[in-house]
Structure 1
Amino acid sequence: MKVKSWTALALSACMAASLAACGGSGAGESGTKGAGETKEAGESTGESDAKSDASGAELSVTIWDNNQEPGIKEILADFTKETGIQTKISVVKWNEYWTMLEAGAQGGSLPDVFWMHSNESERYMSNDMLLDLTDKIKESDKIKVENYPEDIWGLYTYKDHYYAVPKDIDTIALWYNKKLFDEAGLAYPTADWTWDDLTEAAKKLTKPDGSQYGLALKMDNNQAGYYNLVYDKGGYIINEDKTRSGWDDPKTIEGMNILAGWLKDGVIPSAQTQTENGEDVLLQSGKAAMALQGSWMVAAYRDNEYTAENCDIVELPKDAVTGKRVSIYNGLGWAAAKNGKHTEEAWKLIEYLGSEEAQRKQAELGITMSAYKGTSDAWAKSAKFNLQAYLNMMDDMVIRPYSKSTVTWETADNEIITKVYTGELTMEEACKKMAEQMNEKLAEEK
């Protein structure tokens, strides 16, 4: 373990609570952050008729999303039946997940198998905390690199070595409340909508007394929110070689000014309101008519009586000038602890979870879109919503902006953007400040 390097970067884990999970931001999003109570002890998924496992291993598996737990447990049970290797799954809330991993990394007690995210992957890879899967993948008949998006592999590759197997892929779409649209006498959003169309509808769906807003968009909702506006306008957050911020690019500022307009028009809730109630809560309670949300939120809305009855999905609006309809996308990876007690068994589990069989079942169960190419069509049939909209958003995708220090510069960005919501800064001032701080942090990465 590279103690000096790890210690120098430790503070970034403490700030991860305000950052994106599978995809977007917004600490109130239950699907994003793994809602529900933290499980103090996981539940075994073993079956009594499972094959005997000579090693006697029981693998600890840790994730952060309660909504995905039931389906993953079913897949883990399939693995146990096939191999005899027992598993025990634990769900730790997003706000606590990275603190838990930080403590485990320093104390030598990481879970056997766990989710890895692009915000944190390089920190763990560069500090030699994750099991190197390169040779195992090369020898595997189940995991072939070409069967997964190249960008997702890139999130979990360090110095040409692989440290996680892609678990899923996510895109962004527009959720809308049919009941509120009907009450306002408005036609539902369509794939032909522009951001101007969304703005006009949001104005008509907002009530002056603050009881209903046309749109919910949190201050820290970057992947599922304003990043898409930026790239639709031709702007960018970070350049290709990850040496410079694009926040001060005129096209980036132009995209962010769409958000500034929503704030000026009062069609989105205040910072205080959205700190107390996430976009998911506002949509589920009928307080917001629309919300930009990642595909990881589907299970939460499917299992909520109100959204299941009243809401549906459509592709994101496109830019009226550029014609672009970009979806920022991301994907989690299944990783293992380098110094785990059961690394061979851990690899067998990761290999199984990344296999076409398990990835197809992940989609069929409606857990989430799968990373294995060609397996997500079944996911589109897993709920009564128009899930095809999320698949259609794969036509023009940009990988979620990241670098070695994503956590630190995103945390600073969130603090600055909040000041636009509170009226302390103009959007242009905020964008220039975000560029300045981000460039400083990127320079430190060299």
Structure 2
Amino acid sequence: MPSARKLRSVAVALACTVATIPVIAACGSSGEDKPSAGPVQLTMSAWGGDVDKKVYEHRLALAHKKYPNITVKLQMAPGGEDYSQKISTAIAGGKGPDILELAEQTSAFASKNQILPLDDKVKASKLDLTKMFGPTVPKIFQYDDRQYAIPDRSGAMVLYYNKKLFDQAGVGYPTADWSWADLLAASRKLTVRENGKVKQWGFATISWWPYWMTFMYQNGGRILDDKGAPVVNTPENVAAMKWYNDLAWKEKVSPTPRDFANYGQGVGPDQLFAQGKLAMEITGFWNISAANSVKGLDWDISPLWHGKQPATSAFFNGLAVSRSSKHAADAWKVIEFMAGEEGQRPIIDNAEDAPANVLVQRSDAFLKPKWAKRDVNMNAFADSADAIFVPPLTPQWNEMLKVFTDNIELMMNNKVTPEKALATIQQRLGPVMKQGG
């Protein structure tokens, strides 16, 4: 999920929304863990743009309606490392929020003892996280086998495809039953050249981790072993990266980095898909709004194909309780509410994201949203829940990802072989994974 989700952080000035809504907040060190009998004000920190702010306010207002004694003060901020650093510093100083939105940073906060484990609260509330969110998504927010955040939004990466281009090529629409061979065969038929130039591409490969890592996991590969040691340079991963890189350089059914650059700065799969120049792309829920806005674009979505096994990434956000909160029990009540059907519904109604709760993903409100301009296979998200893999979200995630990105980009520019790229990554990850270990 997480979103994660490119962190989808539209820069917003750090601001507090007091208004007449409930918000969650706190300061000082953690106090007695019992719900408050009288009025209590909490603070909640989150990132995002205007839509995210609106939806959080609505959801917190609903929580306030259920728990009238709890008021929440919402703090919106830009996402990314700046968000993590500011919140981490505030918690260390005893002035952190009561509730905080987290994604890839969850393990880093947990490793520094800055957020509370929620296992006892989950048990006391009799929540079945696997039933609510699927077998994998809750694990994304675990550290040392303890639950540190509750999934809030978690849309699997799915396959967007141009139905018109498929029909013109006489190719059957994609399904979860597709194999790599099916993907390649379709991509060949869907790549069209005129006068030696590509008019449309069948598929797209890029250096963003959810793309290439998905192929590794589909081929039975891993990034870290059960003890947290790198296991990157394996036959499974090398074969996956060779197959992945060949789509651009050998099969020529995907743009190379140079091809993407020739389309203009900032152009990627989403833009080419919207222009009708790309038949298939892997992307998330966020692209629905963009695809909906393109006049004449006939499209739909499907779960991803499989390799040796099904696998897809997800972008995710979870809600955690700060170690500095004086009202952890009250904060938990709000988080529990926001994880339920009523608390997740505004996510759907405002087309903000895919709700993490799989039961909500199966609801008519999500499958046939009121804002949809066309029939879309929204079941693709819930149908992908069991295939979501847990990425190696260690406290060294950012440092690890930089090592990967630097070398995967060299591979995708055809400057090093997949074997060389993964050997270098394996060598350089050793010291990285020992940091703070």
Residue of structure 2 equivalent to 1:313: 301
Shift of 1:170: 3.3
Partner letter of residue 22 of structure 1?
Answer: S
Residue of structure 1 equivalent to 2:278: 288
Give percent identity, aligned residues only. Answer: 20
Partner letter of residue 213 of structure 2?
Answer: Y
Are 1:279 and 2:279 matched, yes or no? Answer: no
Q: Distance in 2 between matches of 1:132 and 1:139?
A: 13
Normalised by the size of structure 2, how large is the TM-score?
A: 0.79
Match of 1:79 among 40, 43, 63: 63
User: In 2 relative to 1, CA 286–74 (structure 1 residues): closer, same or farther, beyond 3 Å?
Assistant: farther
Are 1:428 and 2:415 matched, yes or no? Answer: no
Shift of 1:112: 3.4
Structure 2 residue matching 1:239: 3-state secondary structure: coil
Q: 35-44 or 358-367: which moved more? A: 358-367
Shift of 1:146: 5.5
Shift of 1:412: 0.7
Consecutive unaligned residues of structure 2, counting only runs of 5 or more, are: 23-36
User: In 2 relative to 1, CA 146–211 (structure 1 residues): closer, same or farther, beyond 3 Å?
Assistant: closer
Residue of structure 2 equivalent to 1:412: 403
Are 1:269 and 2:246 matched, yes or no? Answer: no
Q: Distance in 2 between matches of 1:373 and 1:101?
A: 29
User: In 2 relative to 1, CA 340–282 (structure 1 residues): closer, same or farther, beyond 3 Å?
Assistant: farther
Shift of 1:115: 1.7
Q: Distance in 2 between matches of 1:131 and 1:308?
A: 49
Q: Distance in 2 between matches of 1:63 and 1:134?
A: 25
Are 1:380 and 2:367 matched, yes or no? Answer: yes
1:170–1:330 contact (8 Å) kept in structure 2: yes
User: In 2 relative to 1, CA 159–432 (structure 1 residues): closer, same or farther, beyond 3 Å?
Assistant: closer
Q: Distance in 2 between matches of 1:346 and 1:388?
A: 32
Partner letter of residue 337 of structure 2?
Answer: Y
Residues 263-290 of structure 1 deviation map (CA, whole Å, 9 limit, x = unaligned): 2044333436367224333333434332
User: In 2 relative to 1, CA 185–122 (structure 1 residues): closer, same or farther, beyond 3 Å?
Assistant: closer
Match of 2:100 among 114, 118, 122: 114
Residues 232-282 of structure 1 deviation map (CA, whole Å, 9 limit, x = unaligned): 22222222332231x221122111112111220443334363672243333
Shift of 1:314: 1.8
Normalised by the size of structure 1, how large is the TM-score?
A: 0.77
Q: Distance in 2 between matches of 1:154 and 1:413?
A: 23
Match of 1:253 among 227, 231, 238: 238
User: In 2 relative to 1, CA 359–153 (structure 1 residues): closer, same or farther, beyond 3 Å?
Assistant: same
1:80–1:87 contact (8 Å) kept in structure 2: no
1:330–1:399 contact (8 Å) kept in structure 2: no
Are 1:216 and 2:204 matched, yes or no? Answer: yes
User: In 2 relative to 1, CA 37–63 (structure 1 residues): closer, same or farther, beyond 3 Å?
Assistant: closer
Partner letter of residue 250 of structure 1?
Answer: P
Structure 1 residue matching 2:271: 3-state secondary structure: helix
Structure 1 residue matching 2:109: 3-state secondary structure: helix
Q: Distance in 2 between matches of 1:308 and 1:385?
A: 15
Match of 2:122 among 137, 152, 158: 137
User: In 2 relative to 1, CA 163–316 (structure 1 residues): closer, same or farther, beyond 3 Å?
Assistant: closer
Q: Distance in 2 between matches of 1:348 and 1:425?
A: 52
Q: Distance in 1 between matches of 2:435 and 2:113?
A: 20
Partner letter of residue 298 of structure 2?
Answer: N
Q: Distance in 2 between matches of 1:147 and 1:107?
A: 37
Q: Distance in 2 between matches of 1:133 and 1:47?
A: 25
Are 1:346 and 2:346 matched, yes or no? Answer: no
Partner letter of residue 257 of structure 2?
Answer: A
Q: 90-99 or 408-417: which moved more? A: 90-99
User: In 2 relative to 1, CA 121–266 (structure 1 residues): closer, same or farther, beyond 3 Å?
Assistant: same
Residue of structure 1 equivalent to 2:286: 297
User: In 2 relative to 1, CA 376–436 (structure 1 residues): closer, same or farther, beyond 3 Å?
Assistant: same
Are 1:127 and 2:112 matched, yes or no? Answer: yes
Are 1:41 and 2:15 matched, yes or no? Answer: yes
User: In 2 relative to 1, CA 281–103 (structure 1 residues): closer, same or farther, beyond 3 Å?
Assistant: farther
Residue of structure 2 equivalent to 1:202: 187
User: In 2 relative to 1, CA 328–47 (structure 1 residues): closer, same or farther, beyond 3 Å?
Assistant: closer
Structure 2 residue matching 1:333: 3-state secondary structure: strand
2:102–2:317 contact (8 Å) kept in structure 1: yes
Shift of 1:79: 1.3
Shift of 1:417: 0.4
Partner letter of residue 335 of structure 1?
Answer: A
Shift of 1:291: 0.9
Q: Distance in 2 between matches of 1:426 and 1:239?
A: 24
User: How many residue pairs align between the two structures?
Assistant: 405
Q: Distance in 2 between matches of 1:255 and 1:292?
A: 16
Residue of structure 2 equivalent to 1:22: 3
Residue of structure 1 equivalent to 2:26: none
Residues 398-438 of structure 1 deviation map (CA, whole Å, 9 limit, x = unaligned): 32233342221121101100111222211221122122222
Q: Distance in 2 between matches of 1:270 and 1:75?
A: 43
Shift of 1:176: 1.3
Match of 2:39 among 33, 55, 58: 55
What is the alpha-carbon root mean square deviation over aligned residues? 3.4
Q: Distance in 2 between matches of 1:216 and 1:190?
A: 15
